[in-house]
Amino acid sequence: MSIKVWAFSESASVANEVAAAASGIAQTSGGSFTVVGLDEGGSKLAGEDKLVLKAQAPLSASPEAAAAALALVAKESNPDVILVGSTRNGKEIASRLAVKLGRPCASDVFAVTLDGGFLRGKRNIFAGKLQADMALPLPCVAALKVGAYPVLPASPAKEVERAVGEVATKTRVIEKREKQRGTVDLKGAKLIVSAGRGVKKKEDLTLISDLAAALGGAVGCSRPLSSDMGWLPEEHHIGLTGVSVHPDLYLAVGISGQLQHVAGIKDSKVIAAINSDKSAPMFEASDYGVVGDLYAVIPAMLKELGGRHR
C-alpha cells in the first residue's frame, strides 16, 4: 500500500522535525510525504514536496483558522496520515482536525511506524511512569512529541501555494507578547542546573546561577519555584506541564523529584542530584547523587571548579 503522509506544524522548525518522522514512514511503506506550512514560511521548510496554505489573514495567528484551512485541503487530497508537531497550538490543531475529519488521534507520540492499516507509536503516560503502545487505524491524525526527531534542513524546492480564501474564527487575538528570548533556552541547553524547594530564599538562587555559569549551563527550576513562589519566570519550569529538556547533564539541586518533574528530564543523558534528604525520590532518577546541604556542597563545587580551571 502506497501511503500519503503530511508533516505539519505552525512552526517551520518543528515542521522539519515532523518531516523526519514522515520521511521515515513514507520510505518504509514506499509512499510519499508532503511538508505542510502556513503563510510565508515555505522557503524554511524541508522536503521535496512542500505545500503552503494561505488565507486572507495569517493562518499561523490562530490554531482555529489553521485547523479549518488544513481540514479543507485534507478533504481534497486525503492524506492517510497527518502528522502534527505536539506544540500547545499543534495539539489544538490535531484535535480539531480529528473531529472535523472524523479521524482517530493521539498526542505526544514518538517512534512512529506503519503496521498494516495502523500507525503505531509510543507515548509516555502516568507522568512518564508507563509507556503506552498506540495503534491508530488509518486514516489518522497524530501529534508528534517535540524533540523526538532530528530537524531536517530547509530544502530549495519550490513550495506549492494553496489559497483558502477567508477563514472565519470565533475568537480574536487582542495582543501577543513574545516571551523574553535569549535569557533561557532550556530545550536546546547541553547543561542545566535546576533549583527546587531546597533553596530557602530567592536571593539564594545566585548559588544556582553561579554554579550554572561555572559549568556553562542554563538555569531551570521545579514547578513550585516558578508557580508558587514566583522566583523564576514560568519558562524556567521543567516538568510535565512545563518544558521538557534533554541536556547532556541535568543537575537537580534541592529538588525532591516528584514524578511530574522527572517526566520533563527523562531524555537527559546524565542526571545528577544534590539533596539533603537521602530518601528523596530524585536520587532514584539520578545517575549520581550527593547527599548534603546545597549551601555547603555548591560552594565546595565552585571552589573545586575554580581550582580546576586555573
Partner 1 sequence: MRIAVCVKHAVDETELKTDSAGNPQLKGAATKISTFDKNAVEEALRLKASHSGEVVIVTVGTPEAKKSMKEALAMGADRGVLVNADPMSMETRRTSELLAAAIRKGAPYDLVLCAEGSSDNYSCLVPPMLGEQLGLPYVGYARKIEVSGQSARVERALEDSVEVIEAPLPAVVSVVSEINEPRYPTLIQIMQAGKKPMEEVSPEAILPGLTAAPSFVRGMKAQAMARKRVVFEGPPDETAKKLLDALASEGVLPR
| Residues of this chain, 12-51, that bind partner 1 according to CB under 8 A | none
CA 175 → CA 61, 89, 170, 292, distances in Å? 11, 16, 16, 47
73 is an interface residue for partner 1 by CB under 8 A: no
Residue 161 binds partner 1, judged by CB under 8 A: no
Pick the closer one to partner 1 by CB: 159 or 280. Answer: 280
| Cβ neighbours, 10 Å, residue 254 | 28
Binding partner 1 (rule: CB under 8 A), the pick from 87, 164, 197, 229 is: 87
Footprint (CB under 8 A) of partner 1, residues 217-276: 223, 226-228, 234-235, 240-241, 243, 248-249, 258-260, 266, 269-272, 274
Task: Write down the least CB distance from residue 49 to partner 1, Å.
Answer: 28
CA distance 276 to 59: 51
3: closest CA among 33, 42, 36? Answer: 33
Task: CB nearer to partner 1: give 3 or 274.
Answer: 274
Q: Which of 72, 73, 138, 191 binds partner 1 (CB under 8 A)?
A: 191
By CB under 8 A, the residues from 88 to 127 that bind partner 1 are 88-89, 91-92, 94-96, 98-100, 104-108, 123-127
CB of 139 to partner 1, least distance (A): 14
- Placement of cell 502534527 in the chain: 84
- Interface region with partner 1, contact rule CB under 8 A, candidates 23-31, 43-51, 76-84, 284-292: 284-292
3-state secondary structure of 251: strand
Binding window for partner 1 (CB under 8 A); candidates: 27-35, 76-84, 166-174, 202-210: 166-174
Residues binding partner 1: number (CB under 8 A): 89
Question: For helices 294-309 and 205-215, what crossing angle results, to 10°?
Answer: 30
Interaction of residue 171 with partner 1, rule CB under 8 A: yes
Joined grid coordinates for residue 131: 509507556
Contact status: 310 vs partner 1 (CB under 8 A): no
Q: Give the footprint of partner 1 on residues 130-149 (CB under 8 A).
A: 130-137, 143
- Please choose, from the candidates 208, 202, 151, the residue with its C-alpha nearest in 3D space to the C-alpha of residue 184: 208
Instruction: Tell me which residue of 109, 114, 110, 112 sits closest to 2, measured CA to CA.
Output: 114
The secondary structure element, H or E, covering residue 33 is strand 32-38
Min dist. Cβ of residue 179 to partner 1 (A):
5
Determine, following the binding rule CB under 8 A, whether residue 194 of this chain makes contact with partner 1: no
Backbone angles phi, psi at 114, to 5 degrees: -105, 140
CA distances for 16 relative to 57, 61, 113, 220, angstroms: 24, 19, 18, 27
| 306 contributes a contact to partner 1 by CB under 8 A | no
Min dist. Cβ of residue 204 to partner 1 (A): 16
